[in-house]
Structure 1
Amino acid sequence: MFHRLSTDTLNWILITGVILFIIEITFFGGGMIISALFFGLFIYVGWKRFHRLWGKAFFWIGIISLVFTIFNMMAIRFLVIVGIILFILNYSKSKKKPDHIQPHITAEENENQETIMKTKPLFDHKIFGDQETTNQSYQWRDINIHGAFGDRIIDLSNTVLPDETAIISIRHLIGNIEIYIPYEVEVSIHHSSVFGRAQIFGTRHRKLMNQSLLYRTEKYDSTYPRVKIITSLLSGDIKVKRI
């Protein structure tokens, strides 16, 4: 359905949704936003203690309440209505004029086609739950993930980094990030957090409030292997240590 829309049309839909979201915060006190954050906290606490009965209760109460809260927002109602309208229009067009898919590759396109290889990433995007690298040896692949709730643990001692800059990029809402790095690896760290703490090698920041941190080891610019770490958290701690 959405592949039929131009990028500009999709952008205008999203912009309208954001404007309605801002109007709701400005003129209606943002009560729904606060409720959504509150129930999000319920979900996180429940997930962390999901093995207990009260943890399961917290988790499912948070999920159900968050769904009702989100669908009471003007912006979400607008996007749902737009989605329904687009579905109806798309279905109507498909009945009148079905798509005919007929692959066609000219000789020129075939000659200029570049061979590429698909590689399975170390991590998939995961909204809920913890993720960590395997305890066994694994082939290094750059990490670029985002998520909502849970912890992320990355141990580089079980892999061999290439003779180039390895990248770890993590964008996350609520949870902790732990990264373990061998002593012979040079490191650059750019971390931003709204709420949380940071422990980067021997340096501690016990209270981060909407701050960014930037560190690098002494020989990072001239020595390999090296790893560039870019992380952002809404609320959570980061720990980067040698192993």
Structure 2
Amino acid sequence: MSYFSTNKQAFFILSVLFLIFVEAAFFENGSVFLIFLGIGTIYYALKNNVKYRRSYFWTGAFLIGISILSMWSLRLMVFALAVYLLLRLWKGDEWLQTAPIYQATDKGLIQNKILSTQSTPIEAYEWKDIHIQGFVGDILVDTTQTVLPKKTSLVSIRQGFGKIQVVVPYEVPVRVFYSTLLGEARFFNGDKKRIINGTIHTEDGYPADEGSAVELIVSVTTWMGDVEVIRR
């Protein structure tokens, strides 16, 4: 079964909230609150074993549909998108797709930024524990390009929205703590897991009889974001 990526879900939810804010603040359309009523009705139908679950669900969907159709901001957005597409077709420009570019930094390896896509340096670098927090953006931490000291090293990331990937060497024991409101997690060679308002703790590479002088602890907290920890 396939899912929309968490980034797309976050984008959709934030877009809906933004439209509701614009509609209530600038167009004074009180019907936008029917959206919240409809969402609550659907949530009640899905989370509770009510007798008329289908009726509750479709009632909520109807309320949301009526509210969306009455939103002037949505109509203006559709109109602006149509004008943009017509202009692009008139000019005959090709659609350009650009891949995300990771920004390397040597001041604390990765810095706190509200909107940014960042990574550790792509060349060899000196290890420093990572403590970072941000709002929106993707983060890549590659520890295979450095030498971890013979002690406990820490990667601590707090991010609102975005994908986080941590690459670790095969010979280093790793503990992972992941907490999120909504996200998808994949650790080492395991399958992807959908997490809803939960926490996962896993570890890999620890010897059975004795501790290790070198270990890496990865702690990730997100609102909505996918996390992947892999060995390379």
Structure 1-normalised TM-score? 0.51
User: Equivalent residue of 1:144, what SS?
Assistant: strand
Greater helix share, 1 or 2? 1
Contact residue 188 and residue 230 of structure 2 kept, 8 A? yes
In 1, Cα distance between equivalents of 2:213 and 2:14: 41
Equivalent residues, number: 138
Contact 2:138/2:162 (<8 A) preserved: yes
CA distance change for structure 1 residues 38 and 214 in 2, over 3 Å: closer, same or farther? closer
What is the RMSD computed on CA atoms of the aligned residues? Answer: 2.8
Equivalent residue number for residue 215 of structure 2? 226
> Contact 1:185 / 1:224 at 8 angstroms: preserved in 2?
no
Distance 2:191 2:221 in 1: 17
SS of residue in 2 equivalent to 1:195: strand
| Equivalent position of 1:41 in the other structure | 14
Q: Which residue of 2 aligns with 1:15?
A: none
Structure with the bigger RCO (C-alpha within 8 Å, sep 6+) is: 2
Residues 180 and 195 of structure 2 are in contact (CA less than 8 Å); yes or no, is this contact kept in structure 1? Answer: yes
- For residues 158 and 133 of structure 2, what CA distance do their matches in structure 1 show? 5
Instruction: Tell me which residue corresponds to 1:239.
Output: 228
**Shift, 1:223, TM fit:** 1.0
Aligned partner (choices 112, 118, 122) of residue 109 of structure 2:
122
Contact 1:186–1:224 (CA under 8 A) maintained in structure 2 = no
CA-to-aligned-CA distance 1:175-208 (integer Å, 9 cap, x gap):
0100000101110001001101000012234311
Q: What residue is the counterpart of 2:171 in the other structure?
A: 184
Amino acid at match of 2:14: L
Greater shift in the superposed pair: 133-142 or 199-208: 199-208
1:216 Cα deviation after fit:
1.2
Supply the AA of the counterpart residue of 2:222. Answer: L
CA contact 2:109–2:121 (8 Å) conserved in 1: no
Aligned to 1:204, what secondary structure does the other structure show?
coil
**Aligned partner of 2:162 among 154, 172, 175:** 175
